[in-house]
Amino acid sequence: MLREIAPTVIFDDVGRLFLQQRDDISGILYPGAIGLFGGHQESEETFLACAVREIHEELSFYVPPERFDFLTRFEGADPENPEGTVRAEFLLSAGLGSLTLQSRKASCWWLRRPSSTQSAKN
């Protein structure tokens, strides 16, 4: 069984990484976990089309396809199905302005990059 996914890294203009906390319900992968936005491809959908659709569904915020860049590709054993394979294309969307997004399906988290003075102290 092949599972195809499009995880997406999202940064705003000030370098904050936008993450989601998944619903804590049974029947979904990684309930309650914090991670990237994105999801499974539908039928003949490309990875890019999947990312655009998933971001819109999860955030009610449309990011046009030209705002995504390819990061990397992965294909290997599926940790969710010992007899399956997962294929992923990781995408990046950066510089989306000062985002004040509200998700109707997921809790959202901003992760700030430490400043150089904070990094030096730690």
| Over residues 16-37, mean pLDDT | 84
pTM of the model: 0.77
What are the tens digits of pLDDT across the range 47-104?
Answer: 999 999 998 888 878 889 999 999 999 999 998 888 999 999 999 998 776 555 444 4
Residue 11 has pLDDT above 80, yes or no: yes
Structural domains for the chain: 2-121 (3.90.79.10)
Of the candidates 109, 6, 4, 2, which has an alpha carbon nearest to the alpha carbon of residue 55? 6
